[in-house]
Structure 1
Amino acid sequence: MNTHKISNASQQKGGCCCSGKTSVSSTLTDASKVKESSQPLYQLQVQGATCGGCVKSIERTLRSISGVREATMDLATGVATVWGDVDSDNVIEAINQKGYEAEMIAK
């Protein structure tokens, strides 16, 4: 029985994808190298991510945006971090289109 709770917005737009998936985050590139680069850094508070599958989906979406060099998300805090030369509005819009709510917390 799946007792996992998700919002209606997430269900309507692909939302939570935890059924049949593990809660392990996707494989990352060497984030320390990306962090040391001169690429801008954005941090966003993401609402609605409830499992590792959600995190993978958000990270994959962020990495697909032109100009993003790396993206990670911490499920426990709901904070997504993006490195790259990209417009912050594009980052927020991409997350919102996946059915999650995002708000910029640091540039």
Structure 2
Amino acid sequence: MPTRSEQPTIHMPTAEEDRAITAPAKSDPDAQPLTPRQLQSMVPIQALRGRPKSEHKKLLVSVRYSQEVVAYFKSTGEGWQARMDGVLRQYVASQPRNR
């Protein structure tokens, strides 16, 4: 595959060419320019991608569990790590706080 060492040159239209392009577009009722309010409400696509941010951020840790525990939770299907977290959270909630 050939590599390109040069950036493509972008040629901007002159003011006259821009008017010639813009006039027909403005006369099309289905292609009206966005209002300032519409422009204000626009969000970059990156902000919409991916998993929603959690209210409860989790920490990445390395933990060793017995094979039987991991095998059991894995056998429950996708989301086994979240279920494991749920079991641990229930345990923590059931414990007295004065330790």
When normalised by structure 2's length, the TM-score is 0.22
Bigger fraction of residues in helix: 2
- Give the structure, 1 or 2, with the largest relative contact order (CA under 8 Å, sep 6 or more): 1
Bigger fraction of residues in strand: 1
The structure having more radius of gyration, on CA atoms, is: 2
When normalised by structure 1's length, the TM-score is 0.21
